[in-house]
Amino acid sequence: MQDTKLAIVIPCFNEALNLPVSLEKLWNILHRMIDDKNISSESFVFLVDDGSADGSWEIIKKAHERSEYKVKAVRFSRNFGNQSAIIAGLENAYKLGADAAITIDADLQQDETKIAEFVKAYDEGYDIVCGIRKNRTDGLFKKTCSNLFYRVINFLGVNIKPNHSEFRLVSRRTLQILSQYKETNLFIRGLFYDLGLKTKDIYFDVKERKFGESKFSFLSLLALAAKGIVSFSARPLRIVFFLGFGISFISVLLAIACIIRLVFHLNYLSGLELFETWETFATGMEILCIGIIGEYIGQILVEVKARPRYITDEELK
Ligand code: UDP
Ligand code: MG
């Protein structure tokens, strides 16, 4: 609607090659929507420089100086990670009075032409519009791990659509709710489906990254997955409890078998190899369970310290 102040939020980490092209495209889309009276002329692009060291901030500053670009931005003191950058963008959009905010990656791998469709869904009354990937450009390994993650997290009772991405629109009401979530480690992808607000999914084709490489290594994705699971489900702790119970039960059965063997001198029931195999299995399970519990304790430590999610160095408003 004509009075909808839209913010397009972009997290950037070393995106100097992508930014000029991406900004031009987004600027065109924003202006077309303003001309068509679909959004207010107060709408803007909000960039979060997540500690880039490749000249991204200089490009952002130049874009800010061109008033027609409608660029506002903040720069972090160092790299705080993509989740913190998105949260900072959304928090700033809220403070700047946006009625709706759309997050999209700086490499525009997500289909920016869907932005108008997102806004239309917002006008129809949706609080959240999620961009879901129709296809994936990642390699087989990353794709398999990602599918596994969504299966595991859904099995653990967390309601997240597979192939969900950080391309989504959220209403001001959602931004207000988000501002009440104070946890340091906030897994936003899980949060938005958890709110119970009116949500619409829109499917889009993923494009190849034009310049540079993905900023996510396998290990950083694994850490994000663990963070997502720990933030939204305590079920792994219950699984640990049942595992412990099951292993103890089988150990009792094996002990009874040993006693029977001793009492009745049943040498053919030696079972030594079985015992060894069992011990190795049980030790492995113990270490795994300690690891799972450790992950939760680590998260508690981070939350208790309650350090800021990010530190802002510079602002362009
Ligand atoms: N990003 C960020 N901080 C980081 C890593 C990434 O702000 O520490 C930004 C990055 O610049 C991009 C978005 O997050 O705009 C998604 O990153 P990328 O394209 O590398 O992820 P992929 O598409 O491979 O999932
Ligand atoms: Mg990308």
Q: For 172-212, write each residue's pLDDT tens digit.
A: 999 999 999 999 989 998 899 889 999 999 999 999 988 88
As residues whose CB is below 5 A from the ion ligand 2, the structure lists 105, 107, 109
Dist CA 29 CA 25 (whole Å)? 6
Dist CA 203 CA 164 (whole Å)? 9
- Ligand 1 midpoint to CA 236 (Å): 29
DSSP character string of 64-118: HHSGGG-EEEEEESS---HHHHHHHHHHHHHHTT-SEEEE--TT--S-GGGHHHH
What number does the ligand 1 atom closest to the CA of 85 have? 7
Measured in degrees and rounded to the nearest 5, phi and psi for residue 167 equal -105, 100
Give nearest CA residue, ligand 1 atom 3: 82
Burial class from Cβ neighbours inside 10 Å (0-12, 13-18, 19+) for residue 143 reads middle
Beta bridge partners of 164: 132
Q: For 110-164, write each residue's pLDDT tens digit.
A: 999 999 999 999 999 999 999 999 988 888 888 899 899 999 999 998 888 888 8
Dist CA 89 CA 47 (whole Å)? 7
What number does the ligand 1 atom closest to the CA of 215 have? 20
pTM, two decimal places: 0.89
Q: How far, in Å, are 5, 40, 42, 106, 280 from residue 73 at the CA level?
A: 17, 19, 15, 13, 55
Q: How confident is the model at residue 54 (pLDDT cuts 50, 70, 90)?
A: very high
Residue pair 37/2 in contact (Cβ under 8 Å)? The answer is yes
